[in-house]
Structure 1
Amino acid sequence: MKYIDEFRQHDLAQQLANSIAQTVNPDRHYRLMEFCGGHTHAIFRYGVQDLMPSNVEFIHGPGCPVCVLPTGRIDNAIQLVEQHGVILCTYADLMRVPGGGRQSLLKAKAAGGDIRMVYSTQDALKIARDNPDRQVVFFAIGFETTTPPTAVAVKQAQAEGLTNFSVFCNHVLTPAAMQAILDAPEPVQIDAFLGPSHVSSVIGSKPYETFAEHYAKPIVIAGFEPLDVMQSALMLIRQLNAGQHTVENEYSRAVTREGNLKAQALMAEIFELRPHFEWRGLGLIPHSALKLKAEYAEFDAEQRFDMPAIQASDVKGCDCPAILRGAKKPQDCKLLGTVCTPENPMGSCMVSSEGACAAYWSYGRLRQS
Structure 2
Amino acid sequence: MSTRNQRKQDNSIKEKTSDELLEEIAVNKRKLKRSFVFAFVALIAVIALGIAWFMSNSKVTSTGTSVSAQDDRLFELASVGERQTAEASYLKDESEKNILSAGAERTYDSYIENGTEVREKQKYHVGTGSLAWYLDSQESILPGANGKLEFYIIPKKDDVKSVTVSFDINGYVYTTENKRVVKPADTTLQNLIQGHILFFQQLDDVYGYQKWLEADKPFVIKAPNNGSFQKDVPYKVTIYWIWPQYFRNYVYTQKSTQGDLFTDAANQTSDSDYARINTFINNQRTVETSQNKLFYDESSEVQVTSPINKDMAQDTLDQCSKYYNKADEYIGTNAKYIYVGIKAN
Superposed pair shares fold, TM > 0.5: no
- Give the structure-2-normalised TM-score: 0.29
User: Where is the helix percentage greater, Structure 1 or Structure 2?
Assistant: 1
- Give the structure-1-normalised TM-score: 0.27
User: Where is the strand percentage greater, Structure 1 or Structure 2?
Assistant: 2
